A and B are shown apart, each in its own frame.
Chain A
Amino acid sequence: MTSRRDFLRTTALGAVAIAGTAGFTHAARAESLLRKSHGDSGDPMANEIALAAIQAAKDAGASYSDARVGRYRRQFVAAREHQITGVSDSESFGIGVRAVVNGAWGFAATRDVSRAGAVRVAQEAVQVARAAHTVQRTPVVLAPTPAVTGTWRTPVQQDPIDIPIEDKVALLLAANEAALKVPGVRFANSGLALLREEKTLATTDGTLVTQTFIRVGPSFTVTAIGDGDFQSYTEELAPRGSGWEYITALDMPGNAPKWAALAAEKLTARSVDVGRYDLILDPTNLWLTIHESVGHPTELDRARGYEANYAGTSFVAPPEKMMGKLKYGSRLMNIQADRVQQDSLSQCAWDDEGVAAESWMLIKDGVFHDYQTVRDQAPAIASLNGVNHSHGCSFADSWDSVQFQRMPNVSLLPGEHDSTIDDIIADTDRGIVIKNRGSWSIDQQRYNFQFSGQVFYEVKKGKITGMLKDVAYQARTPDFWSSMDMIGGKRSYWLGGTFSDGKGQPGQSSSVSHGCVPARFRQVNIINTARSV
């Protein structure tokens, strides 16, 4: 057995990055690039242990088994005003084994990543499956997937974990320093979340793959204090599947004064008058609305009721009445799902069931087309969409979590005309522009939502006339998307995202990106969120 240091080194050297699958490419391109890395053997120790686990599960009576050996490195640096409030570094290493016995699932996981530990936990997974079988009425059926071997690594220039901590500290303190020079600004918080996750997957279908994911998540918030009032501003610094070069390019110290000035300006902004307005959503705001009102309802497990006890079900159900039939929004609405976009958080070569990453359409010209699927859900709609394979949406947030259906990147594709948000503003008689995410909430079937933002601008006769505050928009999903009558072009496409999309019991958190363009929505209900104590 190799040492753990060898494990890390081997994984890094063995990795072959997939070169730029930028923007709006299709599955075919991703697959051709993937072939380059096929056949690489990954890390011998992780491979050996994962293979021992699935063999043990098979020996104990499993008809199918998969094992994931995961090592997660996370680093956080946080600053408030002129001081560092936290520097932490964590690693977590373990193995999780899934087994199907007599058509029932079982799972077990341990931090004991030895051959003996792997065998014990595989046998435990089989026992858990046998217990579940006593209640099982419908046996698990898995969509077929070809066996694959290979390695993949997020294409980055600089691994963020390897950047000296002094550089990270200096960057945050410089950003705070610059923000605090702005009159009225009293508090500044900034932070960096940096991740490197290495994952080896072996399945009894013959798949053996190792992937290394690198992700960065910067944050920046300032608070201005006025006469009996306080206002905060959070810049929308999208987390990405990128390297340190992305953090550098954001120029947080250089932009901090501009961001801080917005918090101070909010103190004197006019409180919004409630009513219906044409809403112009910047991509920094719209990405989260897409996530909640399109991403979640098009998850097949939700549509089939599997999240009924927690995250909720979906209005996009039952599948036979929805696919190719439901008018979701206006004809400008084309929504793509993918796990191949460069810099996105969902980018990978294979999901946690070894299914190759691809892209496919969820909504075409405003009509619902297809769901997000995993291997044990895809067969339920194969007769409806003619797709016999999983779309590759299986993901577990850790070695000790069981993989299940998680959202890929879900993005609003650009319009045909290459217009920008300025063109949309110029075309609007009375409206409100909203930037960045504020508060967000949506019901358990994804109909009624209410979102806020960080800054709001009043638009009159094609021009921005001033800043507003206390704004939130509230709508019903199909009405909202049907009212979309103008969208930006390729030039205005921007990739937002989150590190913390929650779903499942026990709760799991996944990272997901959403690309979009600015868009206008007609006559949306605006509420005022201010109250007095």
Chain B
Amino acid sequence: MPDTLMNRETMQALSKRVLAMSSADETRVNITSAASGNTRFAAGDITTSGDVDNTLISITSTVDGRRASTTTNLIDDASLKRAVDTALRLAKLSPRDPELVPELGPQQYQDVIASNSDVSNLGATARARAVEQLITATRSPGGAMPIDPASLFVAGFLEANGTADCVATSKGLFAYHASTDVSLSCTARTPDGTGSGYASSGGRSWTSIDPSALGRRAAQKAFASRNPVAIEPGRYTVILEPRAVADFIPGLVGSLNARSADEGRSAFSRKGGGTKIGEKIVDERVTLLSDPFDPDLLGQPFDTDGLPLKRVVWIENGVLKNLAYSRFWAQKQGVEPTGGAGGGFGRNPAGLKLTGGSKSVDQLIAETPRGVLVTHFFYIRSLDQRTVLLTGLTRDGTFLIENGKISKSIKNFRWNDSPLLSLARLADIGKPEPIEAGLVMPALKINDFTFSSLSDAV
């Protein structure tokens, strides 16, 4: 990865340079400096590998109650001045924004140490070595090997990122945060095209990732999933592995928006007006939170406005405790802003954690007389915002559980179900596991999950 990441002092100096150029009533500067390295592989070969560095500077100008922004990656004086002038010009040409909230002054931030040199030092050679290690492990995965493991088709991706973010305003605010994240995933497919297995791991540190273990796991799943049989679509008890839960639950987070709920266009709108805050909405074992200081998450402690982010518990013991309030909507409703008021499938910069129980996936399987085990999901899309109804497909390892054991590989399904309604039908909850940087999810056992049709895809 290129050694070009900006430190606090460089960012502070750059943001001061930009602020000094602006004659707007208020100016905010957001800078992101990024350096990343990635290696992609397929058919046992590296297909692409690259190192990239970039710096993005966004300038938001406010003048006479009007606001606009520009972004550039050119940091010479002339280019920055042009970007500053464009932001001002666009702001002047924009109509007054009745929802405008003033830029923030100085804030107190608690530092989050989220950078690891083992990630920033992961160069092309180290990445190639890790890929080789993973591919080698697929050749000797252990356990039953019904076919020659050397015939597996192995594809995957390793990515290491270093990011530094800062926010500075003309009112004296300055916030800085540096982080690293790394992820490795792989898919192994059997040569007859009937079996496919997936494994992935990620976090803020490279040492927590074991390429060999991932290779073995993907290969074992590929072998075990060969020659799937079709079972009737319908309602099944499912065990979603943590990766599948991580695909599914963030679909709910996008709906946790206070304004949409207050406006009567959300699953969290109360009939007759207002929101469902304070109401029990899912099983009482469910607690969902964002917390930049949680050692499992190590998120960013501020949002793009520079607003300090705190621990926010969205759902506590099944009760809706909070919705995401932007600064404008919080002011209007007389509450504290939560920051990170995203929409859609957005991730909260403070991270996301679904706390749970202590059971392993194996234990959950052992306690299930009949059910379906899901490795992960694909192509999830919203079907109906009123119930957070989503659709998607199972992928790369779907198995039938009978009498507490995996009995056979089954064909993939399309499902139509809602994370909100699923959490209300919760049967059990596993041990939370790190999925990727800023995301921790447990396995979930859900009753009556709706598989609507079969998919021939492997």
Measured CB to CB, the nearest residue on chain B to A477 is B456
Whether A309 sits at the interface, judged by CB under 8 Å, is yes
A127 x B452 contact (CB < 8 A): no
B45 x A165 contact (CB < 8 A): no
* Chain A proximity mask over B413-443: 1 for CB below 8 Å, otherwise 0: 0101010110000000000000000000000
Whether B444 sits at the interface, judged by CB under 8 Å, is no
A166 x B93 contact (CB < 8 A): yes
A474 x B414 contact (CB < 8 A): yes
A230 x B386 contact (CB < 8 A): yes
A196 proximity list for chain B (CB < 8 A): none
A108 proximity list for chain B (CB < 8 A): 2, 50-52
In whole angstroms, how far apart are the Cα atoms of A527 and B263 in the complex? 29
In this complex, which of B52, B83, B263, B380 has the most chain A Cβ atoms within 10 angstroms of its Cβ?
B52
Please report which residues of chain A, range 71-104, place their CB below 8 angstroms from some CB of chain B when the two chains form the complex.
Answer: 83-94, 96, 104
Measured CB to CB, the nearest residue on chain B to A224 is B265
Task: Choose the segment among A348-356, A362-370, A427-435, A437-445 that binds chain B (4+ C-beta atoms closer than 8 Å).
Answer: A437-445
A105 x B52 contact (CB < 8 A): no
In whole angstroms, how far apart are the Cα atoms of A447 and B43 in the complex? 23
B379 x A87 contact (CB < 8 A): no
Task: Choose the segment among A47-55, A133-141, A149-157 that binds chain B (4+ C-beta atoms closer than 8 Å).
Answer: A133-141
Whether B363 sits at the interface, judged by CB under 8 Å, is no
B159 x A505 contact (CB < 8 A): yes
Interface of A is mostly: mixed
Q: Which of A109, A127, A164, A441 contacts B93 (CB 8 A)?
A: A164
Whether A285 sits at the interface, judged by CB under 8 Å, is no
A134 x B132 contact (CB < 8 A): yes
A441 x B379 contact (CB < 8 A): yes
* Chain A proximity mask over B1-32: 1 for CB below 8 Å, otherwise 0: 01010000000000000000000000000000
Whether B41 sits at the interface, judged by CB under 8 Å, is yes
Whether B111 sits at the interface, judged by CB under 8 Å, is no
Task: Choose the segment among B72-80, B296-304, B306-314 that binds chain A (4+ C-beta atoms closer than 8 Å).
Answer: B72-80
A444 x B378 contact (CB < 8 A): yes
B44 x A89 contact (CB < 8 A): no
Measured CB to CB, the nearest residue on chain B to A109 is B52
Interface of B is mostly: strand
Smallest CB separation, B128 vs chain A (Å):
5
B265 proximity list for chain A (CB < 8 A): 187, 223, 225, 230, 232
* Chain B proximity mask over A489-533: 1 for CB below 8 Å, otherwise 0: 000000000000000111000000000000000000101011111
B387 x A532 contact (CB < 8 A): yes
Smallest CB separation, A69 vs chain B (Å):
13
B156 x A309 contact (CB < 8 A): yes
B73 proximity list for chain A (CB < 8 A): 91-94, 111
B47 proximity list for chain A (CB < 8 A): 105, 306
In whole angstroms, how far apart are the Cα atoms of A476 and B455 in the complex? 8
B68 proximity list for chain A (CB < 8 A): 87-89
Whether A65 sits at the interface, judged by CB under 8 Å, is no
* Chain A proximity mask over B378-421: 1 for CB below 8 Å, otherwise 0: 11111111110101110100000000000000001010101011
Please report which residues of chain A, range 267-322, place their CB below 8 angstroms from some CB of chain B when the two chains form the complex.
Answer: 304-310, 312-313, 315, 317
Count A-B pairs with CB separation below 8 Å.
Answer: 266
Whether A400 sits at the interface, judged by CB under 8 Å, is yes
Smallest CB separation, B30 vs chain A (Å):
12
B72 proximity list for chain A (CB < 8 A): 90-92
In this complex, which of B50, B54, B72 has the most chain A Cβ atoms within 10 angstroms of its Cβ?
B50
In whole angstroms, how far apart are the Cα atoms of A309 and B44 in the complex? 12
B267 proximity list for chain A (CB < 8 A): 533
Measured CB to CB, the nearest residue on chain A to B71 is A90
Smallest CB separation, A179 vs chain B (Å):
15
* Chain B proximity mask over A368-385: 1 for CB below 8 Å, otherwise 0: 000000000000000000
Measured CB to CB, the nearest residue on chain A to B452 is A527
A106 x B50 contact (CB < 8 A): yes
Whether B121 sits at the interface, judged by CB under 8 Å, is no
B384 proximity list for chain A (CB < 8 A): 470, 529-531
Smallest CB separation, A390 vs chain B (Å):
16
Whether B153 sits at the interface, judged by CB under 8 Å, is yes
Whether B368 sits at the interface, judged by CB under 8 Å, is no
A531 x B94 contact (CB < 8 A): no
Task: Choose the segment among B164-172, B184-192, B205-213, B242-250 that binds chain A (4+ C-beta atoms closer than 8 Å).
Answer: B184-192
Q: Which of B43, B71, B379, B416 contacts A305 (CB 8 A)?
A: B43
In whole angstroms, how far apart are the Cα atoms of A410 and B384 in the complex? 29
Given contacts A305-B155, A505-B40, are A132 and B53 in contact (CB under 8 A)? no
In whole angstroms, how far apart are the Cα atoms of A169 and B38 in the complex? 40
A131 x B74 contact (CB < 8 A): no
Smallest CB separation, B197 vs chain A (Å):
11
* Chain A proximity mask over B113-128: 1 for CB below 8 Å, otherwise 0: 0000000000111011
B391 proximity list for chain A (CB < 8 A): 439, 441, 450, 472
Pairs A–B under 8 Å by Cβ, sample size 5: A108-B51, A128-B51, A443-B393, A445-B456, A531-B384
* 5 tightest Cβ-Cβ pairs between the two chains A and B: A107-B50, A90-B71, A445-B457, A448-B455, A131-B124
